[in-house]
Amino acid sequence: CMAGCTIQCSNIYADVNGKQIVSPVEYETIGLVGSNLGISEPDVIAHLNYQMNDLGLDTIETGAALGVAAEAGLMEWGDGQRAMELMEEVRKGTALGRVIGNGAKLAGEVLGVQRVPVVKGQAISAYDPRAIKGTGVTYATSPQGADHTAGLTLRMPVDHLKPEGQVAASRTAQIRMAGFDSLGACIFGAFGFNLAPTTIQDLVNGQHGWDVGADYLTELGKATIDLEREFNRRAGFTPADDRLPEWMALEALAPNNTVFDVPTAEMDAIYNW
C-alpha cells in the first residue's frame, strides 16, 4: 500500500488453473471465512473473499455473520456452496441478505442466536480470547470494540492461557498501537519500532524539526485513547460495554480447556494512568 515498502504483504490468489480469483487473501479471512465456518477448500475461501470485497464488506464481520447463520441452522458447517448462496442473498439485497450483510450482532438478534462473538457490535477476529487472554482484554476494553489491531498481545512475554499480567500487556499494546495509528505507521512496522524504541522520536524530530523525547509515542497513544474514550462516553457507552460475550467465560476452549477469566475489576482499571 506504500511505495518502497520492504514487507509487501499483499498477494494475488489464483486457482489450480492459474486464474486469478482475488487479491489479497489474508489471515483473518482464512480464519473467519474458512476455519470459522468449517470450510477447508482454499478456492472456495478465495471466491467468498472476492464476493465480500466486491460488495464492500469486511471479511471478519461477514465471516462471523455467516457463522451465526450456521449456528441458526441456515447452513451446514463446511458447506462452501451454501455460504456462496448466502452471499448471493446479500448481493440481491433480500431480507436474509440484509441481515447477514449488516454483521454478526444484527444477525444474532434477528436469528435468535445467543453465542455471538462481538464486542461493542464488532465481530471478534481470528484470535480466540480464551487462548490469548491479553488480546481478549483488548477486545473488551478497546474503544473500537473487538479490534485486534488496537493491541494484539501475541508477542508479549506472558502466559497467554493464564489471567495474570494480561491487563498490563493489553495496556502497553493499546498505547503503542494508538500512537502508531495516529502517526500513520503500519502495524507490521510497529514490531520493528518496538525493538528500536528511539526510532519514532528520531523520525518525528527529523520530519518536523521538533525535539520530542523518548516518551513521545507513549504520551501520544494515551492522549489518543483518552479522546476515543471520551467520544464513547458522550455516545452513551459505559464500563458495562467493556466486556466479552458471557459465554466465553463459561465455555472452555479445546485443547487447553480454558475460559476467559481475567477479572473485570482489573479490566475496568486498564486506563487509569
pLDDT (tens digit, 9 = 90+) per residue, 174-201?
A: 999 999 999 988 888 887 887 887 899 9
How much is the pLDDT for 99? 99
Q: Which residue has the cell 498505547?
A: 175
- With 80 as the cut, is the pLDDT of residue 1 above it? no
CATH 3.10.129.10 fits 13-116, yes or no: no
Q: Which residue has the cell 485486534?
A: 148
The reply to whether the predicted model has a pTM over 0.75 is yes
For 132-268, the fitting CATH number among 3.40.50.10440, 1.10.3720.10, 3.40.50.10880, 1.10.599.10 is: 1.10.599.10
Q: What is the pLDDT of residues 66-83, one digit of tens each?
A: 999 999 999 999 999 999
How much is the pLDDT for 196? 84
Please report, for residues 4, 119, 182, the alpha-carbon distance to residue 243 in angstroms, rounded to integers and kept in the order given. Answer: 40, 7, 25
How much is the pLDDT for 132? 98
| For the chain, domain boundaries | 13-116, 132-268
Q: What angle do CA 73, 88, 13 make, to 5 degrees?
A: 105
pLDDT band at 233 (very low <50, low <70, confident <90, very high): very high
Q: What angle do CA 30, 90, 80 make, to 5 degrees?
A: 40
How much is the pLDDT for 103? 99
Same fold yes or no, 13-116 and 132-268: no
**Cis ω for the linkage preceding 255 (within 30 of 0):** yes
Instruction: Share the mean pLDDT of the chain.
Output: 96
